Amino acid sequence: MSNVGPEHIVQMANDIGNFLRSETDRKVALDGISNHINKFWTRRMRQRLLEYVQHGGNELDELPLAAMAQVTVAPAAAAPAAAAVPIAAANAK
């Protein structure tokens, strides 16, 4: 998956958002998107999506974009004492 560009990752996030779009409770939809990304995506994939969002995130649909506030990028294995960094907090830096 290391050769996958942001286009593929954005499409994957949008697909997850489209799957949950019919959910009537917005919080449940956002939780579903962020939980899926946090649970099944690699740290590198989450980091690439974060970087894409930080550079505008133009092709990311509104629902997955909003869910990004709940996505975390785990620290690299070399940083044992560091805690997971929420993407929203990383955007504030």
Domain boundaries, the chain: 6-92
Contact assessment for residue 64 and residue 49, using Cβ atoms and an 8 Å cutoff: no
pLDDT of residue 6: 85
pLDDT tens profile 30-85 = 999 999 999 999 999 999 999 999 999 999 999 999 999 999 986 655 544 445 55
The band of 2, judged by pLDDT with boundaries at 50, 70 and 90, is: low
Report pTM: 0.75
pLDDT of residue 52: 95
pLDDT of residue 73: 87
Angle at 73 between CA 43 and CA 62, to 5 degrees: 100
Structure tokens at 57: 């995130």
Does residue 89 surpass a pLDDT of 90? no
